[in-house]
């Protein structure tokens, strides 16, 4: 099976949402949603073949995210906001990578050879109805993006990759992930997260200096899939 129709539909919905508003990109609300109810963090009736998925409180992850105080674009400073985070039971297999054409949905590759698609609804500035479904590991992988910036002298950083021109670097000594601002030739840290990073997936806003970023990594030994709203 090539890239699933489910993934393509989600990408199309995101593209429509981005083009229809100048505010940070959000998924189109699910049919029938009135905006008056609290949506569950994880969708009911999960796939029985998928590992257990848990929605983490945004407030629990927010202290791990630190905008870089030295970043400036004119008078603008870096802005970050946690909009959702999930953890997955890794007792049977561990996540080793993740990729997406945007920031969600994201394909997660496990070390037992399986891949699962993590989807969620982005409504009211937060993620809800998280769900995992089987996915083909051979489809939906973006082309490798060449490194566009060298890490600064004197810092031992490991390049994780880039998405929509946001770059991600791992500081294995301090157990943190550094994300750099897009559209720059020089290494320009935008923010850092106290987690051992594995992958980055992102989407920039079409007409404003911001976007959404999903980072896959581990914090205190626990797998975390963290989605942020960022401004630069």
Residues 181-223: tens digit of each pLDDT: 987 777 899 999 999 999 999 999 888 899 999 999 999 999 9
- Residue 98 · residue 225 · CB < 8 Å: yes
* Percent with pLDDT over 90 in the chain: 69
Query: How many Å apart are CA 148 and CA 29, to the nearest integer?
Result: 36
- Position 48 scores a pLDDT of 94
**Per-residue three-class SS string for 43-110:** CCCCCCCCCCEEECCHHHHHHHEEECCCCCECCECCEEEEEEEEEECCCCCCEEEEECCCCCCEEEEE
- The model's confidence at residue 146, banded by pLDDT at 50, 70 and 90, is low
Q: What is the pLDDT of residues 80-139, one digit of tens each?
A: 999 999 999 999 999 999 999 999 999 999 999 999 999 999 999 999 999 999 999 986
- Position 151 scores a pLDDT of 75
Query: How many Å apart are CA 100 and CA 212, to the nearest integer?
Result: 12
Interval 134-160 mean pLDDT: 79
Residue with the larger pLDDT of the pair 15 and 142: 142
Averaged pLDDT score across all residues of the chain:
85
Alpha carbons within 13 angstroms on the beta-carbon side of residue 143 total 2
Q: Supply the range of the domain harboring residue 10.
A: 5-231
Query: How many Å apart are CA 147 and CA 1, to the nearest integer?
Result: 30
Residue with the larger pLDDT of the pair 7 and 186: 186
Q: What is the pTM of this model?
A: 0.84
* Number of domain units in the chain: 1
- Position 5 scores a pLDDT of 44
- The model's confidence at residue 144, banded by pLDDT at 50, 70 and 90, is low
Alpha carbons within 13 angstroms on the beta-carbon side of residue 86 total 31
pLDDT surpasses 90 at 31: no
Q: Quote the tokens at residue 223.
A: 């797998």
Q: Quote the tokens at residue 162.
A: 């880039």
């Amino acid at each position: 099976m090539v890239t699933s129709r489910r993934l393509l539909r989600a990408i199309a919905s995101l593209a429509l949402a981005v083009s229809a508003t100048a505010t940070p990109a959000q998924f189109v609300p699910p049919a029938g949603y009135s905006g008056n109810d609290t949506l569950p963090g994880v969708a009911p009736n999960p796939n029985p073949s998928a590992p257990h998925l848990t929605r983490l409180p945004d407030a629990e992850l927010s202290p791990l995210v630190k905008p870089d105080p030295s970043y400036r674009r004119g008078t603008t400073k870096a802005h970050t906001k946690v909009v959702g985070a999930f953890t997955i039971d890794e007792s049977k297999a561990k996540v080793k990578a993740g990729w997406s054409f945007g920031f969600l949905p994201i394909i997660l590759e496990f070390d037992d050879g399986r891949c699962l698609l993590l989807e969620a609804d982005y409504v009211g500035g937060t993620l809800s109805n998280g769900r995992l479904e089987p996915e083909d590991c051979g489809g939906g992988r973006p082309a490798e993006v060449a490194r566009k910036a060298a890490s600064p002298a004197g810092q031992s950083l490991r390049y994780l990759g880039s998405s929509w021109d946001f770059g991600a670097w791992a500081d294995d000594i301090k157990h943190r992930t550094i994300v750099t601002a897009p559209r720059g030739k020089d290494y320009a840290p935008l923010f850092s997260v106290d987690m051992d990073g594995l992958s980055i997936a992102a989407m920039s806003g079409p007409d404003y200096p911001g976007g959404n970023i999903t980072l896959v990594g581990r914090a205190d030994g626990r797998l975390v899939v963290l989605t942020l709203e960022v401004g630069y």
